[in-house]
Chain A
Amino acid sequence: MDQLSQAAINGVMLGGFYAVMVLGFSIIWGVMGVINLAHGEFVMVGAYITWLLSKQLGWEPFATVIVVFPVMFAVGYALQHGLINRVIDRPYLISLLVTYGLSIIIANATKIIFTATPRTVDTAFSGFWRVGDVTVPITKTIVLIAALIIMSGLHLFLQYTRLGKSIRAAAQNREAARIVGIEIKYVYAITFAICIALTAVAGTLVAPTQPIYPFMGPPLTLKAFAITAMAGLGSIPGALMGGIVLGLVEVLIATFVPGVGTNLGIVSSFVILVVVLVTRPQGLFGGLKPAGAH
């Protein structure tokens, strides 16, 4: 029983990170139809900014969000404006190639600047609480809480602000949105900027929990892809549920299958992906629009 509750806690914590990590990917795909293959690299860049500020200037890692968010917001805006906008109306393959190229450029530039040595970020909130026989890691609890706050904030923003409504309108029907006076290019740039900033913040959150290195991106992108397809494009509750389901499945399998559990756990996300795509291609929780429609 203790092992089960410990596994459940580990799984939910992992799921919280997955959920916040996947948001940016999911919304960019849902709103613009762009599959951002450089997604994992933006997580990595956020993590490196956090590392830089905390190791060099002694900042508390979680506080670096106040720098990471605006900086990456600007980067995202510029990227969308200068690059993604130019390929957005072309076939899927072009934006796939562009973002794939971006991922290679970012990862290698990071390697040149920071070297390939894996880095760790120390936070004052390391350690754990004991609750009965169960251990609750403090850092990961903070990550989970931050993930929930970010997701609620984003949900409120999309539901109730004018800009959020324009973003949803642009996702649902681009032409109609244009007709009612929404400036699509601007909305796209803002969306991309918010998503890249959130993705980088996910990097800030993950940095204190695992080593970071320039080539950590691709497995994250793959996982984001699996969760998004499972959860539905641009759906925030979907991302939360998808992330937590995946985190739980991975950790439970890893805990209760002896010997090779961790291997099987990682495979499970792709098994779930295949099953969902076959049986419920619109994702488990709906979303901005069904996968594949464009």
Chain B
Amino acid sequence: MSVRRIWRIMPLFILAALLMAACAAPAAPSEPAASDGGEQTSEAAVSDNGCVGTIKLGAAVSETGKYAREGKDTRQGYNTWLDWVNKEYGGVKVGGDCYNVEIVYYDDEGDPDTAANLAEKLITDDEVDFLLGPYSSGLTMAASAISEKYNKIMIEGNGASESLFERGFKNLFAVLTPAGNYTQSALKALADQGATSVVIAYEDTAFPSSVGAGAQKWAEEYGLEILGVETYPKDVADVSAIMTKFRDMEPDVFVGGGHFNDALLFVRAAQELGFSPKAMVITVGPSNPKFVEEVGDAANYIIGPTQWEATMSYQDDYFGSAADYAARYEGMWGEPPTYQAAESTATALALQLAIEAAGSLDSDAVRQALNDLDVMTFYGPINFDETGKNAGKPMGAIQIQAGAINVVAPADAAVSELEYPMPAWDER
């Protein structure tokens, strides 16, 4: 074969190699990537602190797919804890010994089947001791079914749907406030301001469905008339029909249950169609600083539920106050923490505290310790009820005010007054 001929087919080889790499990616642990910070073994190789062993945790979290953004926050949250526990805390204390921690990551691509397969792989191939949850209720639903089958503990901070905890599972624990309560404090505050009617749109997947059902429940509770309820599918790119219908109903409050992308879509559609309710409550997006960055001035007056904000008054002996945690996180990742990141760190911290309380890595002992856990953390109180939900933690609400994310409810956590009503789009 002449040199010239080899050169001619070279691109094919390169392409084939790239293809194989791309196809193999979901099945192989992520390489340590500079952009994403420490992954897999990269952060775990701390051997000089005299620890006797390694605790292996496994997590399949979206790196690609619809939840790539939130998945990144989740990984960064886990890795913030990992870095702290290995380097500063000196390993997890089990009995008299200390253990380093390693997290094996995979990319679930936002697909429930993949999440389930990877959970199985983590348990059977990688033989991890405990599982950390993925991002989103739907993926947690799929992955936790596998961990329950193998009687492995999965602790998570990013699956808030109530349906996760109605299956009688013994091995699933969640540190976050369940989805049904997301809109409670916001709707209460709006009802107090004189709002009388509400429309609700939500994605027909696990978490938003819980948010939607909860919003209907709380609306009735606070005397808000429900004028319309609409659902939409996961990859929706056009919500103009929903917003048109809602506009004609002239509601006081719009509630949008979805993820980051949907929040952008709702605001854009409302602006385009001149749909100006007196308040817009949208999940997941508004509490993320990136939302203000993307939407700009149109983000003002929008209300969002929040699991956690750096201005809240919680603190612990590990990460210090909520503000201390935020500073540490920003130092590591160059961006402020979203609540998804904070709850991921809190997830891993709760597991660590349970292992230490149990003094063992045995699943039964740790499960018992998780059931008994009752602690205050930088993220808020953690106290699991018999189904594995965190019963102790209230949900906050933020409003974007002149570009700043301010907590406006509940009253004891608020740093600013709720601005109501929101001015019409063409009167700003």
Write the residues of chain A forming the contact surface with B, with a CB cutoff of 8 angstroms: 2-3, 6-7, 10, 14, 82-83, 86, 97-98, 101, 104-105, 107-108, 111-112, 115-120, 122, 126-128, 130, 135, 137, 139-140, 209-211, 213-216, 219, 250-251, 254-255, 258-263, 265-266
Tell me whether chain A's interface is mostly helix, strand or loop, or mixed.
helix
| Alpha-carbon distance A10/B261, docked complex (angstroms) | 20
Partner of A3, one of B69, B71, B244: B244
B235: Cβ under 8 A from any A Cβ: yes
Whether the Cβ atoms of B274 and A210 lie closer than 8 Å is no
Whether the Cβ atoms of B68 and A105 lie closer than 8 Å is no
A247 and chain B: residue at smallest CB distance: B238
Q: Which of B15, B290, B296 has the largest number of chain A CB atoms within 10 A?
A: B15
Partner of A83, one of B15, B64, B69: B15
Q: Which residues of chain A come closer than 8 Å to B19, judged between CB atoms? A: 97, 101, 104-105
B126: Cβ under 8 A from any A Cβ: no
Whether the Cβ atoms of A135 and B273 lie closer than 8 Å is yes
Partner of B72, one of A6, A115, A215, A260: A115
Whether the Cβ atoms of A118 and B274 lie closer than 8 Å is no
Whether the Cβ atoms of A108 and B22 lie closer than 8 Å is yes
| Alpha-carbon distance A216/B22, docked complex (angstroms) | 18
Q: Which residues of chain B come closer than 8 Å to A111, judged between CB atoms? A: 63-64, 68
Whether the Cβ atoms of A135 and B274 lie closer than 8 Å is yes
Q: List 16 A-B contacts (CB under 8 A).
A: A10-B238, A97-B19, A108-B64, A116-B69, A120-B295, A126-B271, A135-B244, A137-B273, A210-B265, A211-B265, A211-B268, A213-B261, A214-B68, A259-B230, A263-B233, A265-B241
Whether the Cβ atoms of A250 and B238 lie closer than 8 Å is yes
What's the least CB distance linking B17 to chain A, in Å?
11
Partner of B18, one of A10, A14, A101, A259: A101
Give the tally of cross-chain contacts (CB within 8 A).
140
What's the least CB distance linking B111 to chain A, in Å?
11
| Alpha-carbon distance A216/B264, docked complex (angstroms) | 14
Q: Which of B233, B265, B271, B425 has the largest number of chain A CB atoms within 10 A?
A: B233
> CB-CB contacts of B188-229 with A at 8 A, as 1s and 0s?
000000000000000010000000000000000000000011
Number of contacting residues on B, CB 8 A? 52
A112-B35, A265-B241 given; 16 more Cβ-contact pairs under 8 Å: A7-B244, A101-B23, A108-B64, A111-B63, A120-B295, A127-B271, A127-B426, A128-B274, A135-B274, A211-B264, A251-B240, A255-B241, A255-B245, A258-B228, A258-B230, A266-B235
Q: Which residues of chain B come closer than 8 Å to A3, judged between CB atoms? A: 244-245, 248
Instruction: Answer whether A137 and B272 are a contact pair too, CB < 8 Å, given A105-B18, A251-B240.
Output: yes
What's the least CB distance linking B65 to chain A, in Å?
6
B52: Cβ under 8 A from any A Cβ: no
| Alpha-carbon distance A160/B264, docked complex (angstroms) | 43
B3: Cβ under 8 A from any A Cβ: no
Whether the Cβ atoms of B242 and A262 lie closer than 8 Å is yes
| Alpha-carbon distance A219/B39, docked complex (angstroms) | 30
Instruction: Answer whether A83 and B261 are a contact pair too, CB < 8 Å, given A107-B64, A262-B232, A266-B236.
Output: no
| Alpha-carbon distance A101/B11, docked complex (angstroms) | 14
B12: Cβ under 8 A from any A Cβ: yes
Whether the Cβ atoms of B11 and A82 lie closer than 8 Å is yes
Q: Which residues of chain A come closer than 8 Å to B231, judged between CB atoms? A: 259-260, 262-263
A263 and chain B: residue at smallest CB distance: B233
A82 and chain B: residue at smallest CB distance: B11
Whether the Cβ atoms of A139 and B65 lie closer than 8 Å is no
| Alpha-carbon distance A261/B245, docked complex (angstroms) | 11
Q: Which residues of chain A come closer than 8 Å to B425, judged between CB atoms? A: 127
| Alpha-carbon distance A130/B276, docked complex (angstroms) | 14
A3 and chain B: residue at smallest CB distance: B248
A121 and chain B: residue at smallest CB distance: B294
Q: Which residues of chain A come closer than 8 Å to B241, judged between CB atoms? A: 7, 10, 250-251, 254-255, 261-262, 265
What's the least CB distance linking B317 to chain A, in Å?
34
Q: Which residues of chain A come closer than 8 Å to B376, judged between CB atoms? A: none
B93: Cβ under 8 A from any A Cβ: no
| Alpha-carbon distance A2/B72, docked complex (angstroms) | 44
Q: Which residues of chain A come closer than 8 Å to B6, judged between CB atoms? A: none
Q: Which residues of chain A come closer than 8 Å to B35, judged between CB atoms? A: 112
